[in-house]
A and B are shown apart, each in its own frame.
Chain A
Amino acid sequence: EVQLVESGGGLVQPGGSLRLSCAASGFTFRNYWMHWVRQGPGKGLVWVSRINSDGSSASYVDSVKGRFTISRDNAKNTLYLQMSSLRAEDTAVYYCVRDREATDNDHFDYWGQGTLVTVSS
């Protein structure tokens, strides 16, 4: 059974940093592109970032470029999102998501339960 379990969310002050983790199981993690998608309170879905299967390439939405870094450890089956210079508008539930197929297809068949990040003083 495919499982994606996020952790690392919490309350952080504006300008602060946080690292999210996503532990993957039930599939060959190293074969899949992975993404982070977020959802602000009462708002819609926003794609944040993606990383290719070996971690050599990443993309970001403009609003987080230069502040967030996606990475992965295929030996540990874990995806990360390092977030810095956090702003109130980064407050959201952050979902770890998997590409539907083990190729570059950029739509998502498995989602984690999400981890809440709250940026507030």
Chain B
Amino acid sequence: AIRMTQSPSSLSASTGDRVTITCRASQTIYSYLAWYQQKPGKAPKLLIYSASTLQNGVPSRFSGSGSGTDFTLTISSLQSEDFASYYCQQYYTYPLIFGGGTKVEIK
């Protein structure tokens, strides 16, 4: 199975900061990558698919990039509502695999 490695596992940041989360696949997944946001006690929310396509209704401060094995989720200016956990997911092949998650906390 493909392994998805996210880093960092957690980070502390302030409102207005630029935040970057990385996700690395153990083999090429082309652009078959999605990003999700999850707040405590809530179901995840799709942010980005096809590595860089913003899901409808997601603020433009979120962006995704990368292809092959290395991917990035960037929040250009962190807002209070963005403090949450973020997960990448490969959907190139089964089993579908999520990264271990990145918790974004308030500094």
Please give the residue numbers on chain A whose beta carbons come within 8 Å of chain B beta carbons, in ascending order.
35, 44-47, 50, 59-62, 95, 100, 105-109, 111-114
Given A44-B87, A45-B87, verify A108-B98 contact (CB < 8 Å): no
Residues on A with beta carbons closer than 8 Å to the beta carbon of B94? 50, 59
Residues on B with beta carbons closer than 8 Å to the beta carbon of A50? 94, 96
**Among A46, A59, A62, A107, which residue has its beta carbon within 8 angstroms of that of B49?**
A107
- The answer to whether A44 and B100 touch across the interface, beta carbons within 8 angstroms, is yes
Residues on B with beta carbons closer than 8 Å to the beta carbon of A111? 43-45
Please give the residue numbers on chain B whose beta carbons come within 8 Å of chain A beta carbons, in ascending order.
1, 32, 34, 36, 38, 43-46, 49, 55, 87, 89, 91, 94-101
- The answer to whether B55 and A109 touch across the interface, beta carbons within 8 angstroms, is yes
Smallest beta-carbon distance A59→chain B, Å: 5
Provide the main secondary structure of the chain B interface: loop
Given A44-B101, A45-B98, A62-B95, verify A108-B46 contact (CB < 8 Å): yes
Residues on B with beta carbons closer than 8 Å to the beta carbon of A35? 96
Residues on B with beta carbons closer than 8 Å to the beta carbon of A45? 36, 38, 44, 87, 89, 98, 101
**Among A62, A107, A113, A114, which residue has its beta carbon within 8 angstroms of that of B34?**
A107
Contact sample, A vs B, 8 pairs, CB 8 Å cutoff: A47-B96, A61-B95, A100-B46, A100-B49, A100-B55, A107-B49, A111-B45, A112-B43
A45-B98, A111-B43 given. 19 additional CB < 8 A pairs?
A: A44-B100, A45-B38, A45-B89, A46-B98, A47-B98, A50-B96, A59-B94, A60-B95, A62-B1, A62-B95, A100-B49, A100-B55, A105-B49, A105-B91, A107-B34, A107-B89, A107-B91, A108-B46, A109-B55
